[in-house]
Amino acid sequence: AQSVTQLDSQVPVFEEAPVELRCNYSSSVSVYLFWYVQYPNQGLQLLLKYLSGSTLVKGINGFEAEFNKSQTSFHLRKPSVHISDTAEYFCAVNGVTGGGNKLTFGTGTQLKVEL
């Protein structure tokens, strides 16, 4: 079994400030990790994903995430946010073996960028 924890349900930040959205996972097997973004009244779209290789993954819109196996974390970061980054962000995990066809999602973090 696997699970995802997004400890912060809401993160307010001022425009041009840096932000980190936290994601921790638990799994008994190797994992693939994903960050999705959901803008209001829209479906989810992929920001970035970690499959293997370099632990620092760069995604769209200037976001990046670092896979830390020892801390079982996959935190999302952006050095300078924009108003347009206001959205809900979901971390998701799938086991390489045993996870079957199931992506397990966290409960989401609402990022609100203020002027």
Partner 1 sequence: DAGITQSPRHKVTETGTPVTLRCHQTENHRYMYWYRQDPGHGLRLIHYSYGVKDTDKGEVSDGYSVSRSKTEDFLLTLESATSSQTSVYFCAISSRLAGEGETQYFGPGTRLLVL
Contact residues toward partner 1 (CB under 8 A) are 4, 32, 34, 36, 41-46, 49, 51, 90, 94-97, 99-103, 105-108
What DSSP state is assigned to residue 100? T
- What are the respective helix, strand and coil percentages of the chain, to the nearest 5? 5, 55, 40
Residue 45 contacts residue 37 (beta carbons within 8 Å): yes
In the bound state with partner 1, the residue whose beta carbon lies nearer, of 52 and 115, is 52
In the bound state with partner 1, the residue whose beta carbon lies nearer, of 42 and 54, is 42
Q: Tell me how far, at minimum, the Cβ of 15 lies from partner 1, in Å.
A: 26
16: left (phi over 0), alpha (psi -120 to 50) or beta: left
Residue 19 contacts residue 111 (beta carbons within 8 Å): yes
In the bound state with partner 1, the residue whose beta carbon lies nearer, of 1 and 56, is 1
Q: Tell me how far, at minimum, the Cβ of 14 lies from partner 1, in Å.
A: 26
In the bound state with partner 1, the residue whose beta carbon lies nearer, of 19 and 47, is 47
Length of the chain: 115
Q: Tell me how far, at minimum, the Cβ of 33 lies from partner 1, in Å.
A: 9
Q: Tell me how far, at minimum, the Cβ of 108 lies from partner 1, in Å.
A: 5
Residue 48 main-chain phi, psi, to 5 deg? -165, 165
